[in-house]
Amino acid sequence: MNESHHHEAIAPNRLRVQVDQSRCKTDGSCVRIAPELFYFTAFAKKAALRTPEIPLDMVDKCLEATRKCPYNAIIVTQPSRDDAAQDSSGSE
């Protein structure tokens, strides 16, 4: 019985987001939809990230911003368990 509680305590893999700067054309839909995640850089007027890891309560907004970007500049990925383990152990 305790095993299920232990299993639930393991953090799920977090989604990560990035902006492909070569595709971003400053449409602004991502900044309007999820200003908690995206902002415009002052020097390049391109969308940038406040954090590459999407907080669980922001996943829906991030996915909406991804769908509505007319230039497909927002890329959402889910790290594999191996990637997550490597991130937590640091580089060797």
pLDDT tens per residue, range 40-88:
988 878 999 999 999 999 999 999 999 999 999 999 998 876 655 555 5
pTM of the model: 0.72
Mean pLDDT of 4-8: 37
At 1, the pLDDT band (50, 70, 90 cuts) reads: very low
Of 58, 2, 1, the closest CA to residue 30 belongs to 58
Residues 6+ apart with CB under 8 A from 53: 14, 15, 16, 17
Mean pLDDT of 8-22: 72
| Per-residue pLDDT, 63 | 96
Residue 86 or residue 10, greater confidence: 86
At 18, the pLDDT band (50, 70, 90 cuts) reads: very high
CATH number of 10-89: 3.30.70.20
d(CA 77, CA 61): 15
Torsion of CA 52, 58, 61, 64, to 10 degrees: 60
